[in-house]
Amino acid sequence: MKKAAEEAWDIFQAPAVTAPAPTPIPVTVPVIADEPSVAVPAQQKHSLDHLTDEQYYEHMERVGAQPEPKTPSTTVPYPPELASLIANDKVVYDPDYEHWVVKKCKGCGEYFKDVCCGVVEFVSAASHDNKTLHIDGKRALGLIPIKRPEPPKPPQEKWKESGWWNQFRGVEELQGDGTVDWIIQNVVPAGVTVLTGNAKDGKSSSPDHS
């Protein structure tokens, strides 16, 4: 027992052994240089035609290429100023009228909207020669300010401007000396006369001869 206690004491008094620190292993980190902007190959451009405008520009920004403006795929001549609007289906060709048209709101005069504050209709964006901009084409492009329609007039203003309203006269507009012309003196005056009577009072019944 005494010997076991002495061995335990010797182990306790022995100096602690420190493990050597691990040797660091050098790691080489590759340096990635910025990639220059690249042009999109022609065969890849055709594969992007199905993308929307937002998807197209997002893709071009992601790959580091400069987006090129779309060109209309049409054989119909058009003013060069309308190229981007035609390519994005903002201006379309009307085969019935044979010229380029654009959507316009009759309420506020804004363009390109399907639904707006007023009736949306197609108006000419180019003249019938399909080479000259129409005034609505210039406004749609922002070359000249949009002409806002005047607000609708109240009914009483419309009545005053109508022909039938001007045929009526108020008391202050009556003309004459105040005398009355009679067809039957003191019974039927000149002008329009309406004779009335109570219902079932013999206005249209014939006398009874029985």
pLDDT digits (tens, 9 = 90+) for 42-83: 444 445 566 676 676 676 666 665 555 566 778 889 999 999
Quick one: three-class SS letters along 5-27? HHHHHHHHHCCCCCCCCCCCCCC
Residue 174 has pLDDT above 80, yes or no: no
Number of C-beta neighbours around residue 101 at 10 A: 20
Residue 132 has pLDDT above 70, yes or no: yes
Burial call 128-160: b when 16+ CB within 10 Å, e when fewer: eebeebbebbebbbeeeeeeeeeeeeeeeeeee
Rounded to 5 degrees, φ, ψ at 101 are: -130, 160
Q: Identify the residue with better confidence: 108 or 1.
A: 108
Residue 116 has pLDDT above 80, yes or no: yes
Q: Which of 5-9, 12-16, 31-35 has the lowest mean pLDDT?
A: 31-35
DSSP designation for 90: S
Give the CB-side neighbour count of residue 174, counting CA atoms within 13 A: 7
Residue 133 has pLDDT above 70, yes or no: yes
Residue 6 has pLDDT above 70, yes or no: no
Question: What confidence score (pLDDT) does residue 2 get?
Answer: 58
202: left (phi over 0), alpha (psi -120 to 50) or beta: left
Is the distance from CB of 84 to CB of 141 less than 8 angstroms?
no
Residue 207 has pLDDT above 60, yes or no: no
- 75-112 residue pLDDT tens: 889 999 999 899 889 999 998 888 899 999 988 899 99
- 178-201 residue pLDDT tens: 677 888 888 888 887 777 788 777
Closest CA to 147 of 104, 117, 118: 104
Q: What is the mean pLDDT of residues 23-28?
A: 61
Residue 131 has pLDDT above 90, yes or no: no
Q: How far from the centroid of its chain's Cα atoms is residue 172's Cα?
A: 51
Identify residue 22 by its one-letter amino acid code: P
Consecutive H or E run containing 99: strand 99-105
- 134-164 residue pLDDT tens: 999 999 999 999 988 787 778 777 777 777 7
pLDDT confidence of 38, banded at 50, 70, 90? very low
DSSP designation for 195: -
Written as six digits, the tokens of 175 are 């003309």
Question: What confidence score (pLDDT) does residue 92 get?
Answer: 93
